[in-house]
Amino acid sequence: MKRNGEQEEEVFKVLLGSNHHIKILEQFLKDKEQTLNDIVKKIKINRGRGYQILKELQNSKVVVKVKKIKNIQFYNLNASKEEVKLISRLYNLLNEKNKNLEVEVK
């Protein structure tokens, strides 16, 4: 049986697909400020590919740099971008729906 967190991920991926872009967006939705290393470890892709996708998301202004500590750059979703607001709303709705389904099943 899947844990609640895994069920949430499955619904999100079924609706949007399971490519690396979606996985990276999902990581930012779960945990706000993250480094490239955090992301590539969590979704298990190589650093070069992770950097390339992060650059693409930055170029489209979906992801922004938020701070730098020594030589470590932190990134986050751009909360002022309408697309980010929509994807965040969808993610939260799916999480809420899963919680409600879990309660009904018990």
**Cα–Cα–Cα angle for 25, 26, 32, rounded to 5 degrees:** 80
Q: What is the pLDDT along the chain (106 residues), one digit of tens a residue?
A: 444 445 555 667 677 777 899 899 989 998 889 999 999 999 999 999 999 999 999 999 999 999 999 999 999 999 999 999 999 998 888 877 666 655 444 4
| Amino acid type, 90 | L
> pTM to 2 decimals?
0.77
Helices and strands of the chain, counted as H and E runs? 5, 2
Q: Indicate the length of the chain as a whole number.
A: 106
CB-based contact 26:12 (threshold 8 Å): yes
